[in-house]
Structure 1
């Protein structure tokens, strides 16, 4: 099993080149077609241009075209250096969230970047990454803005709670899990955590039918820490390079509300996280 079409989100942030490099590495791994989707904030232009609303529209549009062309050239140059020819550039017009969701639905795996509050050019729309994960119906590999990704998918931690979202995430991650050196299914225990063990054992047995040798563990929640923070601590202790988990969210009034663990990961991730909804 493998991913045949990957989609990487490209913007004008300083993190975009690292995302592109990772997506090219994955595309070569599976001999997959890679789509570079350039989508930036459509309300105000990124970076310093946000402070320049008084500029004439034509001047702002010219600057936007310049940034778009720079991103286009950088993407194609990176693909050429990587020796991967099956790439495609897209820079569609329209509301960023709607456009990204539409194009994401025609890919097997999305490669997205964690929002960085210290880099204005990484802002696309409110909760852009989280909304895309929940609405696109596709698994998304979210890359943290801090640090560098040295390896991906060698040591994998699956956050399991027996939910539909967790089951979807594990199935969506199979191309990565099948080639991992070490996989563990982990449950963050609640007060009645002892009753959760058989559920984790069952999913490990299911993975075995797909040739994935996975161990099972149950982690007590750290005192004063939520489940998301406990998972991140567990991943650090085990030198995990990929976390697989379900993404949770629902609409409340006019805002999208993310589940506690999902919100923690989107805000505080320290390693790449594959999320599915």
Structure 2
């Protein structure tokens, strides 16, 4: 995969500007075209105290038009300042279906973690995972807390041997080729008594010019989850990008990694490259 077309999700939240700057920097790195896709929450409920619902709807639509025009102006101005080829899109339609359709025309998506304390960052209940699961494209999801000061210099690949993790690792190759440190992490329910599980993965990466270490970790007693263990590893190893497969909403679909997808979407501390 080559990164020649990037797509960044834009909304009315205060995090949209940071996503734009991050996406512009990636576009500069890969000499890529950047699409700004403006998709916001649909169908708000009118306040109960209003009797004239039609009047409220007209006023709300006017506010949405102003917000969209302001977002467009900010995005295009940022692209011009950066000297990057950019394209603005603000299609109508249901949020998830619309985002999925446009995401399929890009090589890499840039999305933002939902902040429960910031209503304007809400798009749909499972917006990020539905887009990743349905679009067939990898996505870098940015945490809402803290600025992204470095990216893909120290990378952790979460490997469980599944199709999803293999897809994520392959999709991440263009992003991690310039990394200074790459670690393949496997989490075992019981200590391994053979060769490290990540050894073959590290050998495959080496043939792509990527030097990687590997770490087999057994889940400790006490009920700590795989997701929490990975979050701890991100901090301990000073990771600035986690690469992992994306799994569905149910326990059956999530298989070996359990609730890792949801744990990361809720508690991520660094950018996460997800792929299904």
CA RMSD in angstroms comes to 2.1
1:134-171 deviation line (CA, Å, top 9, x unaligned): 11110010000101100100000000111100000000
Contact preservation (8 Å) 2:197, 2:216: no
- Change over 3 Å in CA distance of 1:226–1:56 after alignment to 2: same
Query: Structure 2 CA distance, aligned partners of 1:164 and 1:209?
Result: 20
Mapped to 2, the partners of 1:104 and 1:140 lie a distance apart of 9
Match of 1:232 in 2: 231
CA apart distance, 1:219: 2.2
Say whether 1:78 aligns with 2:78: yes
Maintained 8 Å contact 2:157/2:244? yes
Q: Which runs of 5+ in 2 are unaligned?
A: none
1:144 aligns with 2:143: yes
1:18 is matched with which residue?
Answer: 18
In structure 2, the residue matched to 1:204 is 202
Specify the alignment match of 1:166 in structure 2: 165
Deviation for aligned residue 1:130: 1.0
The reply on whether 1:89 has 2:123 as its aligned counterpart is: no
Residue matched to 1:179:
178
Residues 189, 251 of structure 1: alpha-carbon distance in 2 compared, 3 angstrom cutoff: closer
Question: How far apart, in 2, do the equivalents of 1:141 and 1:8 lie?
Answer: 9
Deviation at 1:51, TM superposition (A): 8.3
Normalising by structure 1, we get a TM-score of: 0.91
1:217-263 alpha-carbon deviations (Å, 9 max, x no partner): 112334442001100100100100000000111569xxx98950001
Separation of aligned partners in 2, 1:101 and 1:50:
31
2:128 paired residue number: 129
Kept after mapping to 1: 8 A contact 2:228/2:263: yes
In the alignment, the residues of structure 2 paired with residue 206 and residue 50 of structure 1 have an alpha-carbon distance, to the nearest angstrom, of 57
Equivalenced residues, count: 269
Matches of 2:49 and 2:139 in 1, distance apart? 34
Alpha-carbon distance in structure 1 between the residues aligned to 2:135 and 2:47: 28
Once residues 100 and 195 of structure 1 are traced to their aligned partners in structure 2, the CA distance between those partners, rounded to angstroms, is 45
Cα drift, residue 44 of structure 1 = 1.6
1:70 Cα offset (Å): 0.6
Q: Is the 8 A contact 1:41 1:96 kept in 2?
A: yes
Q: Displacement, 1:57? A: 1.5
Q: 3-state DSSP class of the match of 1:236?
A: helix
Instruction: Give, in whole Å, the separation in 1 of the partners of 2:47 and 2:151.
Output: 35
Partner of 1:3 in structure 2?
3
TM-score normalised by the chain length of structure 2 = 0.92
5+ residue gaps, structure 1, are none
Deviations 1:96-150 (A, max 9, x none): 1110010011110000000110110011111101111111110010000101100
Distance 1:83 1:239 in 2: 32
Q: CA deviation at 1:209?
A: 0.6
CA distance, structure 2, for counterparts of residue 58 and residue 52 of structure 1: 16
CA distance change for structure 1 residues 257 and 234 in 2, over 3 Å: closer, same or farther?
Answer: closer
SS at match of 1:173: helix
Correspondence 1:34-45 to 2 at 5 A: 34-44=34-44
CA–CA separation in structure 2 for the residues paired with 1:26 and 1:34? 9
| 2:198 match: secondary structure | helix
